[in-house]
Chain A
Amino acid sequence: MAQLLSMLVEGASLGAVYALVALGIVVIYKSSSVVNFAQPSLLMFGTYVVASATSLHGLSFWVALPLGVAAAAILAVLIDRLLVSRFRKTNAVVAASIMTIGLDVVLLTETDRRIGSQILTTDDPWGNDVVRFLGIGVAEARIAALVVGALLLVLFQLWLHRSDFGVAMRATAEDPETASLMGIRLGRVSATAWAVAGALAVCAGLFIVAYPSPGLDTSVEAVALRALPAAIIGGLDSTTGAIAGGLMVGLSEVLVRGYGEHLAFLGQGFEEAAPYVLMLVVLLVRPAGLFGIREAVRV
């Protein structure tokens, strides 16, 4: 029982982290109909900025954090303004999405080269302590991820549903042309969406590399990529779905790893494939994802 409880806490914490990255993908999709495959590379880039600032240049975490978040957000906005916006004019959203795949390869190759075989730590404030409650021990960093993640998700939902920008964004997702006629500046909406996505990715990245993981190395990008199945499971056009999808991916990964000995017939390390299996199952039942709205067209 204690084992299950600790796995649930860990799964939820990892899920909150995935949800942050998935949310970025969803926000970009809603504002510009482009699936951003470069999200893992934004995460790697921003996290690398933070980790190299703290472990190579000796800055404190609280100075490095805004630097990394700003760097990823600026890079994301540049990608949107310089590259993606051009595709939007011709409505070539598939081409734009494929382009982000190429971008992902370039950015990841470069961050991989810079990281090399090092394992960079971010010197984060939650350190290596383990909190004990209800008979289980959970790393402080995991609790922090859960709390900060939940907080960011709530703030984001409030922002999307209460602020003027949120209204503009949802209107854009609904019908870009009408939104534009109503005076909503589509370029500004999508640039903001990309900036937010970049910032969220870095916040998630910092928790992925926190204790008990050893730090930032090149394997983190495979973890970050699992945000894509999370976004698809929830439905690409649903922010609630991104949160649900993130949690499902996080929980499935942790539970499969935890009950590994009972799942030995599936082979070792099945937890890395589990989120993808889950995605296929969900798509078979609901092709638009759990919370996605299915496009209905009458012929």
Chain B
Amino acid sequence: MFDKISGRIRWRAPVAVVAGVVLLAIPLYADRFWLNLGSFAFAAAIGAVGLMILVGRVGQLSLAHSFFLAVGAYGYIWLSSPGTEDSWGLGLPSLLAAVIAVTMAGLAGLAFSPLAGRLKGIYLGVASLALVFIGQHVLFAAEPLTGGYNGRNVPELTIGSFQVLGVEPELSLFGVPLRQAERGWYVTLLVLVLTTVFAVLVLRSRVGRAFAAIRDGEVHAAALGVPVARYRSVAFTLSSVYAGLAGVLLALLFQRVVPEYWDLFLSLEYLAMVVIGGQASVAGAIAGAAFVSSLPLLLQRYSDAVPGMGGAVSDFGPAYVAQILYGGLIVVILFYEPKGLAALATRARKALTPRRAVPAERTPAS
């Protein structure tokens, strides 16, 4: 037992250091395309970690993730934009607006707790569909808030005169100027690391163990004194906070958002991230998010190189291929390897670790 744990730590520390250095150094070498790809992946990963807590750790299905992403995004736009005659806005300082927007997403999740606490598993999945469709209706109907079909610009995030994702004041690192793309990479990475650490701490705490108890057996959990309904709504609220944060970051990266984006398919993309990642793994959810959010961009960029996919005229365009892949991967992964990418990592680690002699008392008797 002792051996096993120290073995894992021996593995993890250097891997984490190397990964950290690589991630910090990438903006010094990579061009805009790859940095934007990374920023979107990091932002999506925050949302995916939130959904993973709900789906993988508590066993509750939610298809409303795009709704809470939208609450974060439009909450930020509404709070930070200066109001004009035909568009609503409060003109708050943008950092404050971002914080309140994330809180709003959390409150929206909390407001759903009469249902999130009582409904279980798949039932909640269907009930949460309602939020997506009501949300879509509101987004298209409330033109002063969202700009209707044309969308609305997202105000920049500034702290004092410091443009967090802009160009002012000029910064540079080892002679490489830090502009939008580089700053986007670092900011989203930082937020992702902080939120991931928080998620891991929560999952290892009493709350996380209560989540697992509910997932593995609602009745047993209740018998052990876990207030099932309360923890279910806690998980739902937590996941909507993560979604809200991801929504704010995505809006900042997009710089202009349209209501169409926050539809049911976006929820399904986040579900795909979680399933591909192995449902219950934090690292898996992040890897799944990186895969799902980069895939369409990569397909877009390299579609000319793939025969039969090139150009806008083809039936088998990037959007088609991406959707078939998400959907297909959900099916294939659940069918063959429900632990998804997380299982791959475990296998790789096992293959790379030198085999130790199996202690005699642990070999099967026969």
A residues in contact with B130, CB < 8 Å:
229, 276-277, 279-280
**Residue of A94, A95, A98, A279 with highest tally of chain B CB at under 10 A:** A98
Produce 1/0 per residue, A265-299, CB < 8 A to B.
01111101100110110011001000000000101
B249 to chain A, nearest CB (A): 25
Report if A171 contacts B (CB, 8 A): no
Known interface pairs A97-B125, A98-B334; A272-B119 also in contact (CB < 8 Å): no
CB distance from B175 to the nearest CB of A (A): 46
A71 in the interface (beta carbon within 8 A): no
B343 on the interface (CB 8 Å rule)?
Answer: no
Quote the shortest CB–CB distance from A237 to chain B (angstroms): 11
Is B194 at the interface (CB under 8 A from chain A)? Answer: no
Given known contacts A83-B335, A229-B129, A267-B141, A280 and B330 CB-to-CB distance under 8 angstroms = no
- Mark contacts of B95-134 with chain A using CB atoms, 8 A cut-off: 1 yes-contact digit, 0 otherwise: 0000000000000000000110011011101110110011
B24 CB-CB contact with A under 8 Å: no
Q: Are A99's CB and B137's CB within 8 A?
A: no
A99 to B61, CA, bound (A): 12
Given contacts A98-B334, A102-B328, A287-B119, contact A277 B138 (CB under 8 A): no
Are the CB atoms of B126 and A106 closer together than 8 Å? no
Interface: A135 (CB within 8 A): no
Interface string of A9-23 (1 = CB under 8 A from B): 000000000000000
A296 smallest CB distance to B (angstroms): 11
Q: Which residues of B contact A272 (CB under 8 A)?
A: 133, 137
A99 and B331 form a contact (CB under 8 A): yes
Min CB gap B97→A, angstroms: 25
Q: Does A8 contact B (CB under 8 A)?
A: no
Partner of A102, one of B129, B223, B334: B334
Contact between chains at B122 and A97 (CB < 8 Å): yes
**Given A98-B61, A102-B330, A284-B115, A110–B126 Cβ distance below 8 Å?**
no
Q: Which residues of chain A are within 8 angstroms of B121 by Cβ–Cβ distance?
A: 94
Q: How far is the CB of A21 from chain B (nearest CB, A)?
A: 14
Are A98 and B137 closer than 8 Å at their CB atoms? no
B323 part of interface (Cβ distance < 8 Å): yes
CB distance from A74 to the nearest CB of B (A): 18
A25's closest neighbor in chain B, by CB? B126
Cα-based distance from A279 to B222 in the complex (angstroms): 28
Partner of B331, one of A83, A94, A266: A83
How many A-B pairs fall under 8 Å by CB?
Answer: 120
B129 and A284 contacting across the interface, CB-CB below 8 Å = no
Q: B177 interface residue, CB < 8 Å from A?
A: no
Indicate if the CB atoms of B324 and A106 lie closer than 8 Å. Answer: yes
CB distance A269 to B137 under 8 Å? yes
Residue of B nearest to A268 (CB): B141
Complex CA gap A35/B122 in Å reads 7
CB-CB under 8 A from A99, the residues of chain B are 330-331, 334-335
Contacts of B218 in A (CB 8 A): 297
B155: which A residues are within 8 A, CB to CB?
none
Residue-wise interface mask of B (327-362) relative to A, using a CB-CB cutoff of 8 A (1 in contact, 0 not): 111110011001000000000000000000000000
Contact segment of B70-78, B268-276, B296-304: B268-276
- A97-B125, A98-B271, A277-B134 given as contacts; is B140 within 8 A of A269 (CB)? yes
A232 near B126: Cβ-Cβ < 8 Å: yes
Interface size on A, residues (CB 8 A): 44
Q: Are B119 and A283 in contact (CB under 8 A)?
A: yes
Chain A interface secondary structure, helix, strand, loop or mixed? helix
Q: Which of A84-117 contact B (CB under 8 A)?
A: 86-87, 92-99, 101-106, 109-110, 113, 116
Q: For the complex, what is the distance from the CA of A113 to the CA of B320, rounded to whole Å?
A: 8
Bound Cα distance from A105 to B264, whole angstroms: 11
Judging by beta carbons under 8 Å apart, are A106 and B137 in contact?
A: no
Say if the beta carbon of A244 comes within 8 Å of chain B.
no
Q: Which residue of B lies closest to A270 (CB)?
A: B137
- Residues on B with beta carbons closer than 8 Å to the beta carbon of A269: 137, 140-141
Q: Which chain B residues numbered 17 to 61 have a C-beta less than 8 Å away from chain A?
A: 59, 61
Do B133 and A232 have beta carbons less than 8 Å apart? no
Instruction: Please state if B338 and A95 are interface contacts (CB–CB under 8 Å).
Output: yes
A93 to B122, CA, bound (A): 9
Q: Is A236 on the interface with B (CB-CB < 8 A)?
A: yes
Contacts of B219 in A (CB 8 A): 297, 299
Q: Which residues of B contact A95 (CB under 8 A)?
A: 334, 338
Q: Give Cα A110 to B316, complex, Å.
A: 10
Q: Which residues of A contact B268 (CB under 8 A)?
A: 101, 105
Find out whether the CB atom of B137 lies under 8 angstroms from the CB atom of A267. Answer: yes
CB distance from A72 to the nearest CB of B (A): 18
**In the complex, what distance in Å separates the CA atom of A270 from the CA atom of B137?**
7
Given A83-B331, A269-B141, A283-B127, verify A101-B320 contact (CB < 8 Å): no
CA distance A213 to B98 in the complex (A): 44
> Bound complex: CA of A2 vs CA of B301, how far in Å?
58
Complex Cα–Cα for A232 and B323 (A): 27
Q: Determine which residue in B61, B121, B122 has the highest number of CB atoms from chain A within 10 A of its CB, and name it.
A: B122
Contact with A105, one of B118, B134, B326 (Cβ below 8 angstroms): B326
Do B115 and A113 touch across chains, with their CB atoms under 8 A apart? no
Question: 0/1 per residue, B211-224, Cβ < 8 Å to A?
Answer: 00000001100110
Known: A102-B331, A267-B138, A267-B141. 4 other contacts (CB 8 A): A113-B320, A228-B129, A232-B123, A273-B133
For the complex of A and B, 7 pairs with smallest distance between CB atoms: A267-B141, A102-B330, A105-B327, A276-B130, A106-B327, A273-B137, A109-B323
Q: List 15 A-B contacts (CB under 8 A).
A: A94-B59, A95-B334, A96-B334, A102-B326, A102-B328, A103-B327, A105-B323, A105-B324, A105-B330, A109-B320, A273-B133, A273-B136, A273-B137, A276-B129, A276-B130
